[in-house]
Each structure stands twice: as C-alpha cells, then as structure tokens.
Structure 1
Amino acid sequence: MNLSSLPDLRAAQNPTAPCICDDAGDLNNAQFLQAVHRAAATLQASGIAVGDVVAVMLPNTSSLVVSLFAAWRLGATATPINPSLADAEAVFQIQDARAKVLIIDRPIDLDAVTVISPTALTSPVSVTVIDPPQGDDLLALLIYTSGTTGRPKGVMLDHANIGAMCQMVIDAFTMTGADHSLLILPLFHVNGIILGALSPLLAGGRATIAGRFSPKTFFDRIEQSGATYFSAVPTIYTMLADMPAEVRPATSSVRFAVCGAAPASVELLEKFETRYAIPIVEGYGLSEGACASTVNPPTGIRKPGTVGLPLPGQRIRIAGPNGSPVAAGQTGEVLIAGPNVMRGYLNRPEETAKTLDGGWLHTGDIGRLDEDGYLVLVDRAKDMIIRGGENIYPKEIENVVYQLPEVAEAAVVGRADPVYGEEPVLFVSLNSGATLRPDRIHAHTRHQLSKYKLPVDITVLDELPRNAIGKIDKPALRASLPGHHA
C-alpha cells in the first residue's frame, strides 16, 4: 500500500473528524489534507520530484507528519533527522542520503541543499492538487541507524514495507477508528512514526503528539486527550512508576501501553501495571524490520521476561553460528523474515548482502523461542549501549576520541544506571610522553556528538587490558565498573 493517498481517503470519508494534533493546535481530516497539499506545493516549487530525498529535522510536531506525507505526495523519500544531533552529524546524514531539501526550524549552514522552515510549508501558495503516485516499490523512508563501524547507515523502507508494518500493528493491537495514540517517542524513530502516527491514522483513528515528555504533565495529557494507548521505553515507565504516591490519574481510557527499545524488568512491569491499571505490552523490533517483529498479545497470554510472539505475517528463526537452525529451545541469532523487512542499506551493498543473507534479516541479537513460540532475548548485538531507549554504538564515540593526537587507545562500554538503564563510559590510554586531561577529552566530544552519546565518565589508564588474541578486553573493563554483575 502506498500511504501517500491516506490524507485523501480520510478527508473523503469524514472531513471534520479529528486527525492529528500537537501542542500548537488540532487538524481535522480536511485540514490535514490541505496542510499536505500546501507543503507538497512548497516542496515541488523547490524542485522536489519522484525519487528525490527530503530531510526533515524537526521536533515532535504535526508539521513533521505533514512533511512526511508531503514528500510522499511527490513520490519523494523522507529521511527524518534527530533534531538534537550536532550539525556535523546532521550534515553526514543529509549528504549520505543526498537530500535536496532540508526542513528545519533553526538556522543551519549547508551548501547544495535548499533549507525550508516549517512555517514556509503553511504559507498561502498557489496549490495545484497533486495526484499521489501509487507505486508500492517507491522508497518511503530512509531511517538512519548507528552501526558497529561507527557510521550511521540509511535503512531503506519502501511503501510496501511501511504499509505491511502498519497493517501488522493494526492487526496485532486490534486497532479501530476509536483508537487514539498519545505520541511521546521521537518521530525520527520508526516506533514513533509507525506505532505512534501512521497506524492509528490508517485504522481511522487519531494521534496526539505530546512534544517533549515530562512525567509531571504526562497523565494530564492522558486525561485531556482520552488517548487509548501510548508507546514508551523502560526509562519513561520507571519515571512514571516512581511518581509521588499522591499522583492518582484517571487512566480508564487507556487500553494498553507498549514497551520496547530496551529490556524491562518484570518488577518494573508489575509495579507500573499494579499502580496505574494499564497493561504493558512488551515488543521487539529493529529499524531494519520497519518497527516491530514480536509483541506480547494485548488480549492473549502476556509472558513477562519475553518479547512475545511474531507479528502476523512475520517469521522468526533462531540460527546457529553457521546459519543453520538450532534445536528447539536453544539459543542463537534471531533471524526475521516478512514483507516489513527493509530493501537494504543505502549505498552499502556488502553490508546489505551480509545482513539479508539467505532472505532473512540477521539481527545480531541472541535469543531463543520458548515452548509456546515466545521470543526470549538472551543478549544483544555485541557492544551496543541502550541509554533511555536510544541506541549508542561505542565505535562512533571511539572514532571521535581517536581524533585527539594524544590518544593511543579508546574503549567505550556501558555502565548500569538506575534511570537510563545504561550510560556510556570511556577508557583511554595515551601515547608515550603525552598528557591529556579528561575534561579536554570531554570538551572535544561535546562538539562532535549528541548530548545523549557523551561519556558520563572518562578514565585515563597506562594501558587498556587485552585478551588472548590482543584485542582490547571490553568485558574486563565492564567488570572493573562499580556495581558490575557478571
């Protein structure tokens, strides 16, 4: 299904029904379609056509969703950019995606890219109704995900991938026109786009974009909106579960809440559910799989400690080191197949071939299937750190630290944190005769990396530990951290 015609369908069926709202106001179906027309006309006037890429670097607002549909209206591809990225990080994504236009709400210095403010998308312009292209094989989204090489990769998702993923979500959660998403996760992630925005709109429901999350205002927004579900990460559930005892919100409108991006403890799930009477549904997925691949069924048996069953239309297989199936109940790499799996990584044929080897998405995560087919994640891709739901790859931080001429070796590992789950810590050794203070290292990284990627602690050692084959021994570094449990 090509999603570009969704605004037209909604406006034709019920023009005055609510569609999407944010902190600035509401749009009904007819107004949403008009906003998409205006934005598409502005993009078209900037030279955007079929096959071009539109970069969108905005905070969570209705304008971001309008921008996606405006790009699709022209047969273009949208690449959402984390608005908290440093300029150098954003420029890499813009250039790697070969974006022709950047929609952004702040000044940025860029060559060879047309910069458009979100207010320009709403300006009165001569709007010619643009018939949306219908090809399901048109590229819809370029979602950038960090890789173990330290350079983000563009995950190519076409309209067939996105349409299939949305329908799987709708089926798994039995969504109808009565459903109302409260969107608190960032819209540069597939979770926010698919689960928070597109799926409820496709089901005939609506979405409220809550902007920046705050535990102090979250339940007020639930009560005011009458939302029927939301999706969040364990860090958010921890904050909400730890609210003062006098906080007693009305939550009867909420059918379920989704938890993903990082493992949640059984204790946290029980604490939240008992306090607020909202069932939490744990799931698992990757950008390469368009969002979600397994979920604990909202109306069936939910097994704490698992990430649930495969979504309708997807298959999960556990493979041994050589790719062969393992015995029932044994651990191995989690492989995924289904119409939601990406077309590949942009301009990275070798990595694409490796990741999609044999027609299966090789996740790099280690898990097993229990006797009922529920997926249990045992470990995850080697070194990835998940801080409050954000993926951090140590190699990216290490590459920045190696820019300092005094640094001989650098290693980043995750340290347990009660709020964020994990935080990155850095160990370095210096070249002979060199001196370098940790605060100078921190200052250097601060100019190159997003705030959430910055090491929270920096230790300078005479030399970093090595294993038997001479590689830096990261398990030994983790074991040296306070509170580490093997």
Structure 2
Amino acid sequence: MTVTELDYLPWRWPPAYDERPSVRDDRHDLTYAQLAGWVDATAAQLALYGVGHGSVVAIMLPNRIELLVAMLGAWRLGAAATPINPAFTVNEADYQITDADATVVVNDGPDAPNGGRPAIAVDDLWRSRPDPDVLPVAITSPDDLALLIYTSGSTGRPKGVMLSHANLSAMATMMASHLQITRDDHCLLVLPLFHVNAICISFLTPMSVGGRLTVLRRFRPLEFLAAVEEHRPTYFSAVPTIYSHLVSQPAEVITDTSSVRFAICGAAPASKQLLTATEQRLGIGLIEGYGLTEATCASTANPLDGPRKVGTVGVALPGQRVAIMAPDGTFQPTGERGEVVIQGANVMRGYLNRPEASADALGDGWLHTGDVGILDDDGYLRIVDRIKDMIIRGGENIYPKEIETVLHGHPAVLEAAVVGGPHTVYGEVPVAYVTPYPGTTLDVDELYARCRAQLTKIKVPVAIIVVDAIPKNPVGKTDKPALRQALQQP
C-alpha cells in the first residue's frame, strides 16, 4: 500500500469487504456495504446544503457511528470535516464553526450550537437516498483537505490543524505496518472522536485493511471492561488517565482480556509504575507512543515484537524521521536533549489562516513539536520536558492562555496566570492565580462562574487563588516555574 491509495474511503473498498462487519455502537451494527450505503445517502443530503469540493462540514456529536458517517459523507464530496468537542460551550463551538467557515453543522438538534450556520440534526441524517441515481461523483484526492482538528495555542485562540488525505493515508499505513494490523483485527474505540487519535488509530487504520471497529460512547471503567469481554477486541488505544482508572478497580473485578493483542498508551506522559501496573493487572502488553495533532497523531511507538523500553515512547514510525534539534538549528547527538522535530508524509499542511504560526512550526522543513527529548543509541525517544506552556489533563491539552484570557475579561482582574497543578488521577489540572486592580475586591465565585460560562468543564480551574502579586522572572515575565513549584509543596 502507498500513502496515496486512500484505502480507508468506502468507495475504494474492494467488493470482498461488502459482507464483512465494519463498525458498530450501541445502536447500529453495520457491514462494509451498509456503511458505504449510509455514507452515500448522507453525502447526497450534504450536497443539498451546498457542500462540495473545498467545503467544510462541522460535526458536533458524542461518540457514535453517525459522526463517522457524516465525516465520510463530507469526504465523499471532496469536502473537509471539523469535529467539535460536544462538551464545548456555545462560545467555544461557535468560534470553531466560524473560524473553519463551515457550510453546515451536524449536531444533536436545534438547541445545539451552530455558529449561525444551517444545521442537520443527527437523527435526521438520511439512511437512504430518495433518488438512488443522483449522487456527485467522488472526486477525493490525496491533496484534498480532509480534517480541521482544532488545538489551542499560545495566543489563547484555538488553531485549525490542516490535515490532508495524504496525511491520513500515511498515518493509517504507518500504524498498520508498525502494529501489524490486519483484516482480523478489531479495535475498541473509547477515546473521543473529536481527537485525531481516535479517528486515525482506532477507525481509519482498521478500515484501511478490512478490520472492524466497536465505538463506545464514553469511558466508564466497569462498562469498558465489560465491553472488552463482550466484543473481544484485539487492541485499543487510551490515555494514562484511563489506565489509572482501570488499575484502581477492586481486586474482585476480573476481566477476560485474552482477545487483546496489545493496547496503546499515548497523549500524555505515563509513569513506569502505571505502565507496569496496567500490564500486570490486565495481562496485556502496553505500547507507549508519542505524537501530536500536527503530525496526524503518532510519530513514535515502542515495537510490537521488539524491545519495549519502559520510560521511552519508542522509535520513529515507518516513513518518519525524528531528530533532536538544538536552539541554533543544529542536530544534537545521541544522549543530548533538545527540541523534538519530525519529518514525514504525516506532517500537517499548516494552520488554517495562520501563516506566521505555520511558518514557525514548519519553516525549516521540520515540524517543531515544542517538546524536549533525548534519543538513545537504539533510536528510542524519551520525552523529558515541554517547551510549550501546556497543561495535559488526562490526555487533554489545555493551554493556560485561553483560560487567562477569560479571567482577564473580568473588570477587577489585573493579572492572571494559570499553571498545571499535580493530580493523582489526571496528572495535571489547571490552577489559576489572579491579582486585583488596586482598590478593588475580587469575588472568586464570580470568576468561577465566568469560567464555567465560557470554557469547557475540563478547562475550568480547580482552584482560583487571589494573591497580592504574581512572581516575575528577571526579565519581567510571569515566573510560572515558581508557581508550579509552589503547588508541588505539601
């Protein structure tokens, strides 16, 4: 398979796939032929709303097959999809819909955010075409924009990561090769489908080789373990927080995991203790990997059969180059730390309408990750620090600037600084420090209410601490390391 074959697209599936099971959730259980038919019907419906080559379809749904159908329907017309976190507030959702210039929104119904655009309620999606003979010819090409996945940045406003079909095909090919995914594999999807991990690793990879997928609506430990026993998956991908919940179950909770060949751990650093405890508790091999949305999800992973070095995130996936770069642009030798940089067909096209940010990330021909790492003699990568001012809460990236912008909107807030505080389950959670304008009094309850109204629940600070002054470093910038250090103290 080459990275331009786009074998995950329904209209490219061979007839031999027709009766094979493809995807199911708690409402539907579809063969490949049934899924392809539903995609064609939805594409015909989207075309009536003006969706065509170069359009964008926004999809704001929880995990369910219809999210995948709407995405594939957009691709059937040469359009892109931008999946939206269904927990977003109206403010957050409308921003993404508007920034992406979505032609139409597929959502839960009339009360869901739509950014002022036409909307299709999920229960109104067509399952069959009124006129079976009328459907635009599929013109999807590798260079077409496929996904706009939004990720926050230092400016506080999320940026749309532009991923082409060539990017997606490259990622599906790399993962299928590295993890030896075949038509006999069955993935259990538990991560949210507004993330590229769930789309690429759990859905596109098995679909590209004739495998199957079971979609769970949400993660609940006992429900997840029951699903493993019932559906007999061969692999799944999750974040450290999920594994932490699983190993914390009472000893009497015993699950038959014999069908699982391996599980993937990514999106946030995991301790050696957690990785070891998970393998012992569940009796499965855990493969830790590393990547980011801008690289279409994954860039390194520990081998399936070769040595798995606990504490590393493995070796570069087939077709990718991973290097360590010094601040002056030269490459660091083995064992020396520097910024992790990546090359490969999986690297994004850039950020939507953000030429300066795109140039910063890609200008020298390498994707600059903002993460600090070390490569060992065998090519295994160890992540040792983060350049970016990011909080990772249970695998979800939270950028302090976005929260700080909301806090600064309160008329009594002079300064605001948000850092990650330690948490036994989620790893990090946002904690805010604020100072009032002289002569004013800050009402912390008002600040919490403001955050809850404008931010997703996971971004709302777990604590808002009013201080007389926020510490500064010698050049006058907020000393966030000092704030983090203070939170580490008992």
What is residue 430 of structure 2 aligned with on the other side? 424
**How many Å apart are 1:126 and its aligned residue?**
2.6
Aligned to 1:60: 63
- 2:240 aligns with 234
> What is the alpha-carbon distance in structure 2 between the residues aligned to residue 389 and residue 111 of structure 1?
27
| 2:475 aligns with one of 447, 469, 474 | 469
Q: In the comparison of the two structures, how many residue pairs are matched?
A: 484
Q: Secondary structure at the match of 1:20?
A: strand
Deviations 1:220-243 (A, max 9, x none): 101111100000000000100111
2:131 corresponds to which letter in structure 1?
S
Q: Deviation per CA, 1:236-262, whole angstroms, max 9, x where unpaired?
A: 001001111011111110000000011
Taking structure 1 as the reference length, the TM-score comes to: 0.97
- Give the letter aligned to residue 126 of structure 1: D
Alignment of 1:304-319 (within 5 A): 304-319=310-325
**Cα contact 2:185–2:212 (8 A) shared by 1:** yes
Match of 2:123 in 1: 119
Superposition map of 1:177-256 within 5 A: 177-256=183-262
Q: Which secondary structure state, in structure 1, belongs to the residue aligned with residue 305 of structure 2? A: coil
- 2:364 corresponds to 1:358: yes
CA distance in 1, matches of 2:387, 2:176: 29
User: Given the superposition, is the C-alpha separation of residues 61 and 109 from structure 1 closer, same or farther in structure 2, using an over 3 Å criterion?
Assistant: closer
Q: Tell me which amino acid in the other structure corresponds to 2:180.
A: T
Worse overlay, 128-137 or 244-253: 128-137
| 1:373-403 Cα distance to aligned partner (Å, 9 max, x none) | 1001010133200001100000000000000
1:155 aligns with 2:161: yes
Of 22, 25, 44 in structure 1, the residue corresponding to residue 25 of structure 2 is: 22
The CA distance in 2 between the partners of 1:174 and 1:12, in whole Å, is 23
Match of 2:279 in 1: 273
Instruction: Please give the residue correspondences for 1:98-113 in structure 2 after superposition, counting only pairs within 5 Å.
Output: 98-106=101-109, 107-108=111-112, 110=114, 112-113=116-117
Q: Which runs of 5+ in 2 are unaligned?
A: none
The equivalences for 1:288-307 within 5 A come to 288-307=294-313
User: Is the 2:266–2:290 contact (alpha carbons within 8 Å) kept by the matching residues of 1?
Assistant: yes
Assess if the C-alpha contact under 8 Å between 1:5 and 1:132 holds in 2.
Answer: no
CA deviation map 1:71-115 (0-9, x unaligned): 000000101111111111011111111101000013235465110
Corresponding residue SS for 2:162: strand
Following TM superposition, by how much is the alpha carbon of 1:130 offset from its aligned partner in structure 2, in angstroms? 3.7
Counterpart CA distance in 2 for 1:134 and 1:199 is 18
Report if the CA contact (8 A) 2:8-2:204 is conserved. Answer: no
Shift of residue 170, structure 1, vs aligned partner: 0.3
TM-score, scaled to structure 2? 0.97
Which of 142, 148, 159 aligns to 1:142? It is 148
Contact 1:2-1:159 within 8 A present in 2 as well? no
Q: CA 1:104–1:398 in 2, change beyond 3 Å: closer, same or farther?
A: same
Aligned to 1:459, the other structure's residue is in SS state strand
Q: Distance in 2 between matches of 1:131 and 1:34?
A: 14
Q: What one-letter code is carried by the residue in structure 2 that aligns with 1:328? A: T
SS at match of 2:417: strand
State the shift of 1:120 in Å.
2.0
**Residues 169-208 of structure 1, C-alpha deviation per residue, up to 9 Å, x if partnerless?**
0000001000000000010101000001110111110000
2:147–2:162 Cα contact (<8 Å) kept: yes
Cα distance in structure 2, aligned partners of 1:169 and 1:39:
29
Query: After superposition, what is the alpha-carbon deviation per residue over 1:20-50, rounded to whole angstroms, capped at 9, x for unaligned?
Result: 0011120111110111011001100111110
1:8 CA displacement: 3.0
Q: 1:183 touches 1:210 (CA, 8 Å); kept in 2?
A: yes
Give the equivalent residue in structure 1 for 2:342. Answer: 336
Aligned counterparts of 1:303 and 1:100: Cα–Cα separation in 2: 46
Instruction: Indicate how the Cα distance of structure 1 residues 351 and 426 shifts in structure 2: closer, same or farther if over 3 A, else same.
Output: same
Over 3 Å counting, the alpha-carbon distance change for 1:382 and 1:110 in structure 2 is: closer
Taking the aligned partners of 1:65 and 1:126, their CA distance within structure 2 comes to 23
| Range 134-143 or range 104-113, more displaced | 104-113
8 Å CA contact 1:11, 1:29 repeated in 2 = no
Give yes or no for contact 1:2–1:134 (8 Å, CA) kept in 2.
no
Q: Which runs of 4+ in 1 moved over 2 A?
A: 1-6, 8-11, 108-112, 122-131
Q: Distance in 2 between matches of 1:103 and 1:464?
A: 43
* 2: CA distance, partners of 1:482 / 1:298: 36
Give the CA deviation at 1:3: 3.7
Alpha-carbon deviations, 1:386-436, whole Å to 9, x = none?
Answer: 001100000000000000010000000101100000000000000011111
User: Deviation at 1:299?
Assistant: 1.1
Aligned with 1:439 (options 445, 453, 460):
445
Aligned twin of 2:263: 257
Question: Match of 1:257, SS?
Answer: strand
Structure 2 residue 325 is matched with structure 1 residue 322: no
Would the aligned equivalents of 1:234 and 1:263 in 2 still touch at CA under 8 Å? yes
Q: 1:478 corresponds to which residue? A: 484
Which residues of structure 1 form unaligned runs of 5+?
Answer: none
Q: Paired residue for 1:34? A: 37
In the alignment, what sits opposite 2:97? 94
**Which residue does 1:385 correspond to in 2?**
391
Aligned-residue offset at 1:472: 1.4
Match of 2:351 among 345, 360, 368: 345
Q: Are the counterparts in 1 of residues 391 and 420 from structure 2 also a CA contact under 8 Å?
A: yes
Counterpart residue type for residue 54 of structure 2? G
Distance 2:468 2:359 in 1: 41
Question: 1:3·1:72 contact (CA, 8 Å) conserved in 2?
Answer: no
Aligned-pair identity in percent equals: 52
Alpha-carbon contact 2:94-2:113 (below 8 Å) kept: no
Aligned position for 2:13: 10
Cα gap change, 1:189/1:421 in structure 2, threshold over 3 Å: closer, same or farther? same
Please give the alpha-carbon distance, in whole angstroms, between the structure 1 residues aligned to 2:163 and 2:82. 10
Could you report, residue by residue, the CA deviation over 1:253-310 in whole angstroms, capped at 9, with x for unpaired residues? 0000000011111111111101211110000001000010000011111000000000
Residue 75 (str. 1) matches residue 78 (str. 2): yes
* Offset, 1:328: 2.1
CA positional deviation for 1:2: 5.8
Verify the 8 A CA contact 1:60 1:209 in the aligned structure 2.
yes
1 CA distance for matches of 2:5 and 2:17?
20
